[in-house]
Structure 1
Amino acid sequence: MRSTFHGIEIGKRAIFAQQTALSVTGHNIANANTVGYTRQNAITQATNPLSYPGMNVGNGPLQIGTGVETTEINRIRDSFLDGQFRSQAEQQGYWNVKHDTLSKIEETLNEPADTGLQANFDRFWQSWEDLSKEPDSLAARAALLSNATALAGRFNQISDSMENLSTDLQNQLSTKTQEMNNLTKQVSELNLQIAKITASGQQPNDLLDQRDLLVDKISKMADIQVKPAQAGHGMVDIFMDNKSLVAGDKNYSVSFDSSSNQLSLGGTTVSLKSGEIAGMVESLTQDIPSFMSKINELVSVFSRETNQIHTDATAMNLDDIQNRKNDPTAALDQLPFFVASGTSSNPGTAGEITVNPLIVASLNKIAAARVANVSDAGTANELNNLKFKTVSFSNQTTTLNNFYRTIVGDVGIKTQEAIQMESNSEILVQQAESQRQSVSGVSIDEEMTNMVKFQQSYNAASRYISVMDEVLDKLINGTGRVGI
């Protein structure tokens, strides 16, 4: 038999349930613009009826309900969409870095422009042509020296820029790995808090949101795999290159060795395929070295071919011509035009090429003739024609200008690819986030509708209690008073 106050209890439970639902709705509205927040929903169910059929319980056809209760506050989240978003975020982070690096390489070349390397080459060839017209002109020789110095300086500048870019990437990697370590530490700490709260039977929804937001940030840095922790209790494990990054309430440090350009996790070398860190490592170990290898090869072949002509057994400078007039058997200077800094050997890299200091000290040391005559321009003509000469490189035979254009074209193609892939990945990230928000995001219109619904239910429950109060008042105060 039910209690006299059974109706009051039903009304009370209804009020508590609707009040909880309104609180959840208010929490959703308050966090509508909070980054990483997941929409929550109060789940209710009917409480156990007044009695169940049994040996000591009546077997009548009716059971009286006892109202409603809130069983959980559910977090509306789709793990599949999380995985899709993080997979695309990894690609976006990777191509962001690749685009940035390749754009800086392209800016260093600065082609086509008056300050680009091609323009320096053109002025250098033009100077030899001008000198071939006036072999004894000091003005033409001075212009040649200036343009040759500018060309060597441009190579030096490219080398310095790439060294600075490499140093900058190394610094970024150190900073990024420290940032990742901080994030993984926070994830492990949240894992511990979540486990404690979950073990007590509660739902740490807001802590789960904080952890998911941290995992999203980590996913942009590196390709990771997120799995439920073996320890359970709501914790997650994070793996990178199949090695533990976070295991329950423990995290393992990622570090970058700038001397070997190696990335390691917990002391073990790891290899990444996507994410910002992978883009930085690849830029540092592949893109920049590949580019500089080609530039250095250009420097080596260019200086070798130039020096070979300038040091030919018949190449004469103004001092040689004067000496041969005095002594027909006088030895020729045979000075290399370009040398490696501080040496007399052929330069092999862009960072060391410089005009021979002896030529810088005296314009007379520029060899323009083939015979002992100041009007002869045999050497100057041959050096002017060097730009048309087919020479051998490591993997092709072509002209110096064409080889350089190949370098510029290759950088341009890679940069355009990076731009396109970055654009595509950004679109895919936006689409994945839109899909995720359609499930997990807060809709103000929907929450306002829910608020009105729960408010009406609350008002109805309150009115129901008022009715039951009147009934009980009549029962208690209005019965048993006959004859009074």
Structure 2
Amino acid sequence: MTSTFHGIEIGKRAIFASSTALSVTGHNIANANTEGYTRQKAITEASNPLTYPGMNSGKGPYQLGTGVDTKEITRIRDSFLDGQFRTQNEQLGYWSVKQDTLSKIEQTLNEPSENGLQAVFDRFWQSWEDLSKEPDSLSARAVVLSNGTALADRFNQIANSIDHLSQDLKNNISTKMTEMNNLAKQVSGLNTQIAKMVASGQEPNDLMDKRDLMIDQLSKLADIEVKPAAGGMVDIFIGQEYLVNGDQSSTLSFDSSNNQPLLNGQNISLKSGELAGMVDSLTQDIPSYMAKINEMVTVFSSEVNSIHAGANAMNLDDIKNRKIDPNAALERIPFFVSKNGSVPTTADDIMVNPLITASLNKIAAAQVASAGDAQNANQLNDLKFKVLSFSNQSTTLNQFYRTLAGEIGIKTQEALQMENNADMLVQQADNRRQSVSGVSIDEEMTNMVRFQQSYNAASRYISVMDEVLDKLINGTGRVGV
């Protein structure tokens, strides 16, 4: 036989279960707009029935139920969808950095524009053509000097801008690594709290949400691998190295001497994420394009100097000296030099020879002892059409630069397209994840009404049982009274 108050107990458990479900629904509604929050659900199950022989168990061939229990409050989360989101998030981080770096290089070249290197080159060649028409004109020589200086300054500006971009990338790498170290430390701290609560039989859903949000943030920074560990904890790897090992976190650092990321002092290879994009930009993109610009400077200055300081090249002072002494030695002054006076080989080091800056007479426009001769100026003007030998091709200077600028533009557009694609895939993955884990206000309102009705019904049931018991206790044995 069952307890006299068996019905009251069933009603009480029903009220508690409905109340818990309403609280969970309210928690979901309150956090509908909270970043990283995962929808929760109260899981109920029928409580143990009266089955074993005893004073309170039934004698018939049946089990008498005892009501309902709330088994757990669980997060509605799919780890597979988390993995998809994080994989796409890594790609988004990588391509966003690559696109940003390439676009800044493209902006540095500033093509096509009046201030771009191509326009400065055109003005430089034009000034030699104008000088060839008036080789003894000081004003024409001043224009050659001005345009030559502008060309050298433009090379310097490009080199300095790209060098600043490199320094910015190094600073950003250090900043991002500090951010990763802080996130890893916080994840390991949450692992500790979660493990303690799991061991005590609790369900730290909100702490797990915080941890998952931090892991999402880590995934945009680097290609991480997340694995479940004992006690509700997770381990996080970069390659084969631990970033988070249970309640312990590791330290990322950057060796700026060789641009190598380190984890616990060990070299690691980053494949995706913002850090990988920064390292690849720093070690591949920038050096590759700067090498081509520097090669252009080397070939260009060498060709100009070979003509300007050629065996027969004469400036106005040479012409004056030859008129006095036909066998007088020629000065043979190079037009471009490095800042220490040697042959220029890099864009940051090229400049117009200070001797020419000090005296326009030092510009060698002639090849015979006549102020009206312009053979040298003509050769320098024709240099823009000359096919020259570069490391992997033979072409003109203008075409070499156009190819370089076009290549950077194409790479920038490709990176932008990859970034847009990655962003779209991230949004799709997040939408799929939110369709499972996100809070739907309409659904929660429906649940709220359902649980409210359950609560009301349970309360009414208790009222009925109270009336029954009242009749039993107060009415039994009072027949005829």
Q: Structure 1 length normalisation: TM-score?
A: 0.98
Provide the residue aligned with 2:243 in structure 1: 245
Provide the residue aligned with 1:282 in structure 2: 280
Does 1:481 pair with 2:478?
A: yes
Does 1:42 pair with 2:38?
A: no
1: CA distance between counterparts of 2:27 and 2:222?
A: 33
Aligned residue runs from structure 1 range 118-137, under 5 A: 118-137=118-137
Q: Is the 8 A contact 2:50 2:56 kept in 1?
A: no
Secondary structure, aligned partner of 2:45: strand
Describe the superposition over 1:106-154 as per-residue Cα deviations: whole angstroms up to 9, x where unpaired. Answer: 0000000000000000000000000000000000000110000000000
Does 1:371 pair with 2:368?
A: yes
Does 1:227 pair with 2:227?
A: yes
Match of 2:415 among 406, 415, 418: 418
Aligned residue runs from structure 1 range 19-418, under 5 A: 19-52=19-52, 60-229=60-229, 232-343=230-341, 345-418=342-415
2: CA distance between counterparts of 1:52 and 1:444?
A: 45
Q: Is the 8 A contact 1:316 1:367 kept in 2?
A: yes
Amino acid at match of 2:365: A
| TM-superposed deviation, 1:313 | 1.0
| TM-superposed deviation, 1:59 | 5.1
2: CA distance between counterparts of 1:51 and 1:99?
A: 69
| TM-superposed deviation, 1:53 | 5.9
Amino acid at match of 2:321: N
Match of 1:457 among 454, 457, 467: 454
| TM-superposed deviation, 1:462 | 0.3
| TM-superposed deviation, 1:62 | 2.2
Unaligned runs of 5+ in 1: none
Secondary structure, aligned partner of 1:132: helix
Secondary structure, aligned partner of 1:41: strand
| TM-superposed deviation, 1:55 | 13
Secondary structure, aligned partner of 1:255: strand
Residues 450 and 58 of structure 1: CA distance in aligned 2, closer, same or farther (over 3 Å): closer
Provide the residue aligned with 1:3 in structure 2: 3
Secondary structure, aligned partner of 2:236: strand
Identity between Structure 1 and Structure 2 (%): 73
| TM-superposed deviation, 1:482 | 2.8
| TM-superposed deviation, 1:54 | 8.9
2: CA distance between counterparts of 1:51 and 1:316?
A: 117
| TM-superposed deviation, 1:50 | 1.8
Aligned residue runs from structure 1 range 435-446, under 5 A: 435-446=432-443
Provide the residue aligned with 2:431 in structure 1: 434
Amino acid at match of 1:200: S
2: CA distance between counterparts of 1:305 and 1:267?
A: 48
Q: Is the 8 A contact 1:99 1:418 kept in 2?
A: yes
Amino acid at match of 1:313: A
Amino acid at match of 1:274: S
2: CA distance between counterparts of 1:15 and 1:213?
A: 34
2: CA distance between counterparts of 1:282 and 1:393?
A: 25
Provide the residue aligned with 1:467 in structure 2: 464
2: CA distance between counterparts of 1:44 and 1:273?
A: 45
| TM-superposed deviation, 1:57 | 6.5
Secondary structure, aligned partner of 2:9: helix
What is the root-mean-square deviation in Å for CA atoms of aligned residues?
Answer: 1.2
2: CA distance between counterparts of 1:200 and 1:75?
A: 18
1: CA distance between counterparts of 2:216 and 2:22?
A: 30
Q: Is the 8 A contact 1:52 1:63 kept in 2?
A: no
| TM-superposed deviation, 1:253 | 0.3
Describe the superposition over 1:20-55 as per-residue Cα deviations: whole angstroms up to 9, x where unpaired. Answer: 000000000000000000000000011111223699
Secondary structure, aligned partner of 2:8: helix
Describe the superposition over 1:39-86 as per-residue Cα deviations: whole angstroms up to 9, x where unpaired. Answer: 000000111112236999665212211100100001100000000000
| TM-superposed deviation, 1:241 | 1.3
Q: Structure 2 length normalisation: TM-score?
A: 0.99
1: CA distance between counterparts of 2:279 and 2:69?
A: 55
Describe the superposition over 1:233-255 as per-residue Cα deviations: whole angstroms up to 9, x where unpaired. Answer: 10000000121110000000000
Amino acid at match of 1:324: R
2: CA distance between counterparts of 1:79 and 1:378?
A: 76
2: CA distance between counterparts of 1:135 and 1:74?
A: 88
1: CA distance between counterparts of 2:93 and 2:434?
A: 21
**Structure 1 segments (4+ residues) deviating >3 Å:** 52-59
Unaligned runs of 5+ in 2: none
Q: Is the 8 A contact 2:50 2:57 kept in 1?
A: no
Describe the superposition over 1:267-317 as per-residue Cα deviations: whole angstroms up to 9, x where unpaired. Answer: 100011100000000111111110100000000000000000011111100
Describe the superposition over 1:77-96 as per-residue Cα deviations: whole angstroms up to 9, x where unpaired. Answer: 00000000000000000000
Describe the superposition over 1:253-272 as per-residue Cα deviations: whole angstroms up to 9, x where unpaired. Answer: 00011122110000100011
